[in-house]
Amino acid sequence: SRLTTGLRHAIAQQELTLNYQPVVDLNSGAITAVEALLRWNPTGGKPVRPDVFIPIAEETGLIIPIGLWVLEQACADARRWHEQYGISVTVNVSGRQLRDENFSDAVLTILRRHDLPEQALVLEITESMMLATTTAETQRLISVLQALRDHGVRIALDDFGTGYSSLAYLRTLPVDILKIDRSFTTALTEADRRQQTRAFTKAIVELSASLDLRTVVEGVETDDQAGMLQQMGCPLAQGYLFSPPAPAARIDDLLQSAPWRK
C-alpha cells in the first residue's frame, strides 16, 4: 500500500520524531521519567497515527529498523535529562523486536554509544506480546528480558489490567514496573463502575507494592483522579493532567520549571 511504501522511506526522509510524556511522582510532583511516543509526519501529507502505522511496521518487519531508530533517538535525548535531572526514559517495544535475536545486543550497544547508564532505560512490553508463541519461545523471550535486566535495564509491563491472564504473567515475567491501563483511571470517576474500579485499582496498587514493583497509573486527566490515586498509595502517574506527549524541547522546559513540584 501507499502507507507501506511511505513508511519504508520515513527514516531516510527524516519524517519520524519522538514526543515524550512525563511520568510524575504524585507525592513530590517531580518528573521521574518520560515515555517516548513515536510520531510520523509524511512529507507533504498529514500525520499518520501510531495505532495505524505501528501495526503496518510490525507486519512488514519495518518495526526492526524503526525500533532501532526510536532507541537511538530516545537515548540521545535522554542523556542530558538523565545527567542533569536523574530521570529515565521509557521506550515501547513490539513483540517482533523482542523476538529478533540481535535485540538485546543492539539495546546495550546503543546505550554505550550514547553513554547512557543501563539504569536510565526502561523497555515497555505488553502481556499480549508474550501470548502468540509456544512455551519454549515464551521461555526464550523471558530469558532475553532477564539478560537485559541483569545489565540494569528495567522492564515495564504496559496496559496492565486489559489482558485476561494478568496475575499469571505477573508471576512469570521479569518486570520492575507495572503500568495500570488508563481504562481504570477513566472508570474511577464514572457513575456506574466507580466503586468496583476503585476496589480493583487499590488492590492492584497494593499487590504491585508487595511484589516490589513500581506502579505507574496512566491516563490521569483530572485532579480528582490524581488525588484518589495518591490516597490509594499509587506513587507515579502519567496523563494529560500533567502533559500530553510533547517535543523534547518542551520536556527541557518542564524539567527546568518543575511546575508540579510540591
100 binds Mn ion (CB under 5 A): no
CB of 227 to ligand G, least distance (A): 4
Within residues 128-157, the interface with Mn ion by CB under 5 A covers: none
* 15 contacts 71 by C-beta, under 8 angstroms: no
**Residue 87 corresponds to which cell in the numbers above?**
530521570
Number of residues that bind ligand G (CB under 6 A): 30
Q: Which of 94, 104, 197, 208 binds ligand G (CB under 6 A)?
A: 94
Q: Is 127 in the site for Mn ion (CB under 5 A)?
A: no
Nearest partner of 53 among 110, 9, 91, 104, judged by Cα: 9
Q: Which residue number, 104 or 243, has a Cβ lying nearer to Na ion?
A: 243
Q: Which of 70, 89, 153, 157 binds ligand G (CB under 6 A)?
A: 70
Instruction: List the beta bridge partners of residue 163.
Output: none
Q: How far apart are CA 109 and CA 126, in angstroms?
A: 24
CA-CA distance, 121 to 154, in Å (whole number)? Answer: 6
Separation of alpha carbons 32 and 34, rounded Å: 7
Q: Is 124 in the site for Na ion (CB under 5 A)?
A: no
Contact status: 95 vs ligand G (CB under 6 A): no
Instruction: Specify the residue, 127 or 158, whose C-beta has the smaller distance to Na ion.
Output: 158
127 touching ligand G, by CB under 6 A: no
Is there a contact between 156 and 124 (Cβ–Cβ < 8 Å)? yes
Closest CA to 20 of 238, 261, 241, 262: 238
Residues engaged in binding ligand G (CB under 6 A): 21, 26, 29, 37-38, 49-51, 54, 70, 92-94, 158-159, 182, 218-221, 223, 226-227, 230, 239-241, 245, 260, 262
Interacting residues with Na ion (CB under 5 A): 158-159, 218
